[in-house]
Chain A
Amino acid sequence: MSYVISIMSTKGGVGKSTISKFLSITFEEMGKSVCVIDLCQNGSVSTGFLRDRDAFEYTTYDWLTGACKPSEVIQQFEDSGIYYIPSNETIDDFERFAEKKFTAAKRLGSIKEKVEPLKKMFDVIIFDTHPSENSDLVSYAIAASDYCLIPLETDLDSVLGTKRSVEIIKEFMDMQELDYGIVPNKVSQTNFKLKRQLKNFIVELINEGIPKEKILSTIRYSDVISSSKNEKIMLNEYQANKYAKKILGDFKQVATEIDTVLNRGGVQV
């Protein structure tokens, strides 16, 4: 059984690319083959896997438009079971391509169609989406997904972004088999005021009708994530660093929760 996860939020900077990267590492450690598809113009997936985002001949846009074969665009991270499709600003042009190429009815399935062959090969496919409320590209990604994961920061704008994201996802839930989860991200372990605020934000979301079980375990904040990326070292190589171990433990917990929901839900390949 394979599944497709969209990491999404209408709010930028909540940690979508970081979560995409670390979830892929975690799923791989769980014995799954993973492909991360970068749908964001920032190309953070490439830098996350320690590559220059302009180092690729082909990107997601080329793959989606059929200008290259999957083998020409899919990159393997070192010798692992983690693969990724890099992106850059050209991805913005896909919406115009889809408008010309597909009828309105087929447009929504334009990414799903391309992902189907990948689902036969990979256990988990992760979309790292761009933060936008009205992006057709994000809609195409959701239409191709079994699950949407919304990172929530302890920030008022992030709460509003989460509410809006849930509204968008619910519209798709009426049309397809889809589930979602909210993962509190960059959670401070030392600032009690922020911890209390996060608790209040979660209560607010539940009061607005979001089921309690949609709130997943939290991922703690640590400078180690940024510093490891800046030093071009993968976090899982920080073997001796207790914070890195704890964060990777957080990701494992979240990945297990998602895996349980998707296997229980019986989403078919």
Chain B
Amino acid sequence: MSKKIDLSELDALDQIDTTDSKSEKKRRNVTDRFKEEKKKTVTSISVPTPLLHAINEYCEKIGISKAAFFSQAAREKLKNEDLDAKF
């Protein structure tokens, strides 16, 4: 009952030049690429515990998150603050 398909005949019908686009396969793994991009953008920093406590208190006091604190904008703002004097 079932109809068999000649796949090699199908290849002939498919007009795409596969040799040029073989390189596309290299960029196909979305997951790997996502991981690579994540590695590029996510950095880790080491902060001494007393300073981390001070940052926590500071963040609570001015009402920003720690993520915001570590953002560039927050760091710019902090240039004019004297943490040592306040804490």
Contacts and interface: CB of A to CB of B under 8 A. Distances in A.
A62 B2 contact: no
B71 interface: no
A136 interface: no
B18 A81 contact: no
Interface in A58-117: 58, 61-62, 65-71, 74, 76, 79-83, 89-90, 92-93, 97, 114, 117
A118 B11 CA distance: 10
A32 interface: yes
Interface of A: 28-29, 31-33, 35, 58, 61-62, 65-71, 74, 76, 79-83, 89-90, 92-93, 97, 114, 117-118, 120-123
Contacts of A90: 28-30
Given A67-B22, A90-B29, A117-B14, 13 more contacts: A28-B2, A31-B2, A33-B3, A58-B25, A62-B28, A67-B21, A67-B28, A74-B7, A81-B1, A81-B5, A83-B5, A121-B9, A121-B13
B13 A120 contact: yes
A65 B21 contact: yes
Interface of B: 1-11, 13-18, 20-25, 27-31
Contacts of B30: 89-90, 92-93
B28 A69 contact: no
B28 A66 contact: no
A28 B17 CA distance: 31
A196 B87 CA distance: 68
B20 to A, nearest CB: 8
B21 A81 contact: no
B5 A122 contact: yes
Contacts of A121: 5-6, 9-10, 13
